[in-house]
Structure 1
Amino acid sequence: MSEWPINNAVSPVFPLYSRANVGEIFPNPISPLNASAGFQHNLEPGWRDAFVACKVWDDSFYDKSQVPITVLPAFGSYLYINMSLMRLFGARVPGMSPEAVDLQYFGDMPGIPSYESERRDFDEDPVFEEKAGQWLAEEVLGATGLPLYDKDRQEVLEIRRNRPDISSMTDQELRDRITSFDYILRPLFQRHIEASLKCGVGLGAVAQFAEAVGKPELSLVLVGGLGDVDSAIPSNKMWELSRQAQAPQIAAMFDEGVTGLRERLAASPDPTVAAFSANLDAFLDEWDFRGSAEWEIRAKTWSLTPEVALGTINSMRSVVDSESPQAKNAQRAKEREEAVAGIRAALESDPEALAQFEATLNGSALWMRGRERARTTAAMVIHEIRLPALELGRRGAAAGHLKNVDQIFMLFASELDDYLADPASFTEILAEREASYLDLFNYIPPFVVAGEAPDLSTWERVDSGPVPSLPAGGEIAGVAGCNGVARGRARVLLSPDDPSALEPGDILVAPITDPSWTPLFVAAAGVIVDVGAPFSHAAIVSRELGIPCVVSATGATKRIADGALIEVDGTTGRVTVLEDAPSTAVGAF
């Protein structure tokens, strides 16, 4: 892989691709080094392995395509998911369907070619449908724990504990470490995708039970407030830090601003400040890998930019105790138990259906946890690639071979040895490649690719002009992510890097969210995202924290003015502008 920008082949057999879901973790273009040594390099084969493990087809299936990458290609260096393959998965799993896959995994995508328009003559396969049924019964509904996921976590924690002193490693040792984690990343990604597929099946089955008893509105309540969801853990720990930061001597230091705050805290002789500083350091050490687009090795995580984490803690300081993540989760858990009791009562006369409901409920909760656990564990490994790459970049920049540290991420893995042998020969190549990479951020990738990837020159530009904001009374129809209704001022944020912009009671309006956004949810009264599905990160975390959420609210960041008074109805999936913004600020993607 060395073509730049990265444009993988479109499969003639499975020609439909979507940015939904993958846009959560890769809102930006993938860097060459991450594509060839980290994420795409390992997730592509891991995803193939996951489909086989789910028994919807076997390894010989991939020979039909004759295209090297079909599951997770990049077009214009932006990653896409093969929607055709996901639909085929839905067609072969009993109780699922291609249409259910569209809703659970991709959200509301008007104008997408129907499944019927691409149906293949081999899609229905009784042999694999029977095998998939066995997989569903035994591994989705019959599972009782996450032993492999727990084992993976322990193995990765051991890797982190035994991390060598990166700064003392030779250039060759750094280069070797960058490419040394394939052995664990591929199976980690396989398990992440398996859990994702199982979770989607579980959510769909729960929704069917809610529909069957005449309570479709309970489908999301039944999977809320689960607890023990990895992506929500940092929010709880940040909350604890925010309570400690209310101490007068610590609050005064926060009031001076977060820039340089960590250093000021560490230098303070005050014992209260010193205790807080030690707790903060422990938090940043534990969650050093967390950050926006954290599966991109070029991303700046909390350990590299602690001001982002400190800014979020600062925003939490003014949130009242009754709005704690724990309190919200407890309320959502109570609502879930009440909903479960209601459906149990409705199914009491049908023991078989009741047993199926219990298995479905347990399976959906288990695999939601499994998905977030594997996702977090993989992010830890990606950080182990990031650190040696950064050190190699620092050395290259110090020697004048690179114009900045981050240009190291513009190398492809196949170029690492040549770079070590003659780094000066890459100076201009990497500078040109970086300029091209940064320019890609100015494009809006087409949300769907059907049949042929459009040339980059035809893509819409970010700076193509403002979009008129919705007036008072205007609405956006999205997809329900978490039940409930909230009113508040819209706060349109395009990244989680400025948490100070979000005040308690605001409604967060974002293009898409990944785990680094999660702590912002604590202060928010509601969440709206442009792209998403009931299965996406924003919806899962909102259900844990009990925050009304609407996903797949197409164009919300463009059409809702920052500061407008809005209502988010997470039960119906509707967003309504109640009052114009006090200024003319317009959200922009």
Structure 2
Amino acid sequence: MADLTDRSGGYFVGTKPSERYPIWTRANVGEVFPDPVRMSTFDFAFQNDDGIRISELGFRDAYVQMGAFDYDEFDPDDCVFLGVFGGYTYLNAAIGRVFGARAPGIDVDTVDRTFFGEQPGIPPYEPHPDDASPEAEQRIGETFLMLFAAPALPEVHEDEQNIAELRAQRPDFTQMGDHEIIDWIDDFLQSGYGDGDGFRLLFARHLKVSFLAAVPLGAIEQVCTALGRPEDTLKLVAGFGDVASAAPSDAMWQLGRQVAASSALGALFDEGPAGLAERLAAAGAGEPSGDAAAFNEAFDSFVYEFGSRGPNEWEMSCPTWETDPDIALAAIDRMRLAPDDAEPARRRAELAAQREALAAEISALLEADPDTQMQFNLALGAAAVYLPGRERTKTNCVRFVNECRIASRVLGERLVERGQFSGQTEFGMLRLSEIHEMLDDPTGWAEVIAERQAQWDDAASRQEPFVIVGDPPPMSEWPRRGTSELPKLAAGETLAGLPGCPGIARGRARVVLDSSDPTALSPGDVLIAPLTDPSWTPLFVSASAVVVDVGAALSHSVIVSRELGLPCVISATGATGRIPDGALVEVNGDTGMITVLEL
């Protein structure tokens, strides 16, 4: 039986630390689950009384499919890839290092740098006797050969089409019974896709493509470094287009242009984002042939296509653009103020032209070494397939989960109307089996939900450790957020991070901690954020540069900045606390330095 008591103390769910793979990090996974996970998410995705669940199993499938591990190398009873401590999700860095140790052509440092970036407190790699595996090395090598020969990822595009069909065939949940909705969610997650594998298949695909995306990127980096031009690495993987997490920015841009061109729409937006959806609906109904009606039609299409996106979009109880359209409208409000030359498609075309010219230049420099030249050209081709593929597989997963989000909110609204829930997302504090129990007998469940919500609030108010080695420290030792204020940078001082996307830009620093409130960001400002996920993408369009506290080469902030041509610095530890809001700053995406020019 799984132990649902968190070993860090104070939160009601957690996993057992792995003795074999003892290093855990918030890097990368913090973009997916920035907040503590709710009980329902832990129950279906991580672990329940029956053992490990979908997300952990998907991780295992991906690593076995790549040839890096055998299933018998994993603990059958407890999670080893994904840990939950104090409610926060952690990714196992130790097991990623084993992949680096076994994979031909890459090493542990490459894995650390690509997926986790700079991590204060992570110990140096110490080989374990079981890390080396000639059999795994041979299997991984065969996978890499297939990777460089793949002209496309047809299975990923097939998934995309299938998920679109699932969205088109969404059941009318209002016609389902209460228990029927919960059973539908459970069945859908477990077996609602593929040959009965459900979310597990989609998640494994995402993880496999994500990890393999690092291989061509690493090969390109090796060539550029050998030529003394490491700064060209990210320029050679910019402007690919077809990046799913950046796609909403193109659609939002067009909506923003509609607003910018209409005085009637502009007046509605000038009143502020609160209640904007209702004002637009009323205006459209009052003048069916007017600008508001045309905007509403276009916005409805946008929500249908991209409504699964939002802050913390893997968590079913969190809002998305479909459940809370005002979040998307607030981003469009900022985008309407951007100048015409900020158009994402225009930027992307410029970057693509630069990439092609640079690729031809470097390939010509390698003519004296045909083998390296061939490897370089193959790596460029594979990067063009796998880097956009990574974002597409993530989008497929998010769209799949969103169907369960919509179903659960229908039930949540019913329970609010009956007085059993005080808010429609309180289902997040219950396991799926407990919801069945509550539906049969609601007595006492309000108190259970309130107690768990208090525990969740306490966990959310604490700053989780970025790296955990071995057993997590007790939550009582985790500091409260905002209680340890970092010293602000003065004019002339600098903060060092890692280059994320090349270029130099100047602008007013705007520290934004929540993507659902973009109103503080004006065109030309420098976005300073803790980390970003796709819900932040619209803010990138009007920004002059992006700086994040944490991140790595395959982080969302880098991928989108690369598509939009924005200078980006990642792993700028403490940036949101140290850079004064409103200060004029210079962001150097080539060196990773942020300089405060004036306060």
TM range (shorter): over 0.9
1:565 equivalent to 2:575? Answer no
Q: Supply the distance in 1 between the matched residues of 2:65 and 2:111 (Cα, whole angstroms).
A: 18
Q: 1:349 aligns with which of 324, 346, 368?
A: 368
Is 2:280 aligned against 1:261? no
**Which residue in the other structure is 2:158 paired with?**
151
Deviation at 1:67, TM superposition (A): 5.2
Alignment correspondent of 1:233: 247
Q: Say which SS state the counterpart of residue 509 (structure 2) adopts.
A: strand
- 1:444 alignment partner, SS class: coil
Per-residue Cα deviation, 1:105-155 (whole angstroms, up to 9, x for no partner): 000113310002xx20111111211111111111x2121111111111122
For 2:266, the aligned partner's letter is A
Give the equivalent residue in structure 2 for 1:205. 219
1:394 is the counterpart of 2:401: no
Partner of residue 91, structure 1: 101
146-155 or 499-508, larger mean C-alpha shift: 146-155
TM-score normalised over the length of structure 2: 0.94
In the TM superposition, residue 423 of structure 1 has moved relative to its aligned partner by 2.3
- 8 Å CA contact 1:198–1:364 kept in 2: the answer is no
Would the aligned equivalents of 2:68 and 2:102 in 1 still touch at CA under 8 Å? yes
Shift of 1:191: 0.6
Give the equivalent residue in structure 1 for 2:203.
189
The CA deviation at 1:199 is 0.9
Task: Determine if contact 1:396/1:423 at 8 Å carries over to the other structure.
Answer: no
Q: Which residue of 2 aligns with 1:214?
A: 228
Match of 1:131 in 2: 139
Counterpart code for 1:145:
A
1:47 corresponds to which letter in structure 2? F
Deviation at 1:332, TM superposition (A): 1.4
Report the alpha carbon displacement of residue 207 of structure 1 after superposing the two structures with TM: 0.4
Match of 2:267 in 1: 252
Paired position in structure 1 for 2:575: 556
Please give the alpha-carbon distance, in whole angstroms, between the structure 2 residues aligned to 1:434 and 1:301. 21
Cα distance in 2 for partners of 1:470, 1:30 equals 34
Contact in 1 for aligned 2:245/2:534 (Cα 8 Å) = yes
- Shift, 1:54, TM fit: 0.7
Superposed, which structure 2 residues align to 1:293-442 within 5 Å? 293-442=312-461
Which residue number in structure 2 is paired with residue 583 of structure 1? none
What secondary structure sits across from 2:551 in the alignment? coil
What is the count of residue pairs matched by the alignment?
Answer: 575
Structure 2 counterpart of 1:587: none
Asked whether the equivalents of residues 482 and 546 of structure 1 are also in contact (C-alpha less than 8 Å), the reply is yes
How big is each residue's C-alpha offset from its partner over 1:148-204, in whole Å with a ceiling of 9 and x where there is no partner? 111111221111111111222110111112212223210100011001101112211
Residue 66 (structure 1) shift? 5.8
| Residue equivalent to 1:586 | none
2:490 & 2:538 partners in 1: Cα distance?
A: 30
Query: What residue is the counterpart of 2:177 in the other structure?
Result: 170
Separation in 1, partners of 2:270, 2:76: 60
Q: Distance in 2 between matches of 1:61 and 1:136?
A: 22
Distance 1:402 1:309 in 2: 27
Q: Which amino acid aligns with 1:14?
A: Y
Amino acid of the residue matched to residue 24 of structure 1? E
SS of 2:569's equivalent? strand
CA contact (8 A) 2:427 2:435 kept: no
Query: Is the CA contact (8 Å cut-off) linking 1:403 and 1:431 kept in structure 2?
Result: no
Q: Among all aligned residue pairs of Structure 1 and Structure 2, give the percentage whose two residues are the same amino acid.
A: 43
Distance (whole Å) between structure 2 residues aligned to residue 110 and residue 173 of structure 1:
48
Number of the residue aligned with 1:42: 54
Structure 2 distance, partners of 1:351, 1:505, is 44
The answer (yes or no) to whether the contact 1:507–1:525 under 8 Å persists in 2 is yes
- Once the two structures are TM-superposed, the CA of residue 5 in structure 1 deviates from its matched residue by 2.4
Q: Give every structure 1 segment of 4 or more consecutive aligned residues whose post-TM-superposition deviation is greater than 6 Å.
A: none
Q: Which stretch of the first structure deviates more once superposed, 531-540 or 418-427? A: 418-427
CA distance in 1, matches of 2:455, 2:423: 15
TM-score after normalising by structure 1 = 0.95
Amino acid at match of 1:130: Q
Paired amino acid for 2:480: R
**Runs (5+) with no aligned partner, structure 2:** 6-10, 48-52, 192-197
Tell me the CA shift for residue 38 of structure 1.
4.3
Amino acid at match of 2:109: E
Tell me the residue number matched to 2:238.
Answer: 224
Partner of 1:55: 67
Deviation at 1:271, TM superposition (A): 2.1
SS in 2 for 1:90: helix
Q: Kindly indicate whether the alpha-carbon contact (under 8 Å) linking 2:250 and 2:344 is maintained by their aligned counterparts in 1.
A: yes
Match of 1:100 in 2: 110
Secondary structure of the residue aligned to 2:246 is helix
Q: Which amino acid aligns with 2:279?
A: R
Secondary structure in 2 aligned to 1:141? helix
Q: Map Cα deviations across residues 212-238 of structure 1 (whole Å, 9 max, x no partner).
A: 222111011011111000011100000
The separation in 2 between residues aligned to 1:195 and 1:473, in whole angstroms, is 42
Asked if 2 retains the 8 angstrom alpha-carbon contact of 1:470 and 1:560, the reply is yes
- Determine the C-alpha separation between the residues in 2 that align with 1:263 and 1:470: 43
What root-mean-square deviation, in Å, do the aligned CA atoms of Structure 1 and Structure 2 show?
1.4
CA offsets per residue over residues 290-317 of structure 1, 9 Å max, x none?
1001001111111222111111111111
The one-letter code matched in structure 2 to 1:348 is E
SS at 1:481 equivalent? strand
Bigger mean CA deviation after superposition, 255-264 or 102-111: 255-264
C-alpha distance in 2, partners of 1:129/1:406?
46
